Structure 1
Amino acid sequence: MTVIERGRIKGKSIVFTKPLGFPDGTEVNVRVEAAETTDKEESALDAFANLPFFGMWADRPEMEDGPRWVQEERATWQTRSTQQD
């Protein structure tokens, strides 16, 4: 079984935020790498902003005033496409 977790060095030990799921006394191989110090939330935001579809409508003329466009679209939702008798 392979587990990759993030931990912190405290004294001479590595402290994990949750149990690893191995029974006590299990011998394991350990490889230690310093983690990047970037903010996790910022990294997720950057990853989202770098997706290929992010901003794909930015150059469309109807998107110059996005809130107005949304308001107009929502107004059409209130009208039925067929007449009810």
Structure 2
Amino acid sequence: MNRKQIGIIVAVAMIIVGAIFYFLAGDKNKNVKQIQINGTPQQTVPANSGDVSPISGLTCDNWNKRSFAVMQPADVAARPLAGLSAASLA
């Protein structure tokens, strides 16, 4: 091996050792302050009361029936906002 190859190997080894030291032997006790929450917790109330659909927010007789059809938007930008990941059957 010539001096150039040995220099490259030594440099790479030093970078690897430095990275290992940085990630594994870094400061474990970082200055983290605990948040103190003072006061009493507030009681939650349901947003909808009565025969109100949780999807539309409108009053209807069959509010607790599961929907059986969905409409997927054709716009690619709107698809992540459609909530398809929360569907029980897709």
Normalised TM-score (structure 1) = 0.18
Q: Say which structure, 1 or 2, has more relative contact order (CA 8 Å, 6+ apart).
A: 1
Greater percentage in helix = 2
Larger Rg, first or second structure (1 or 2) = 2
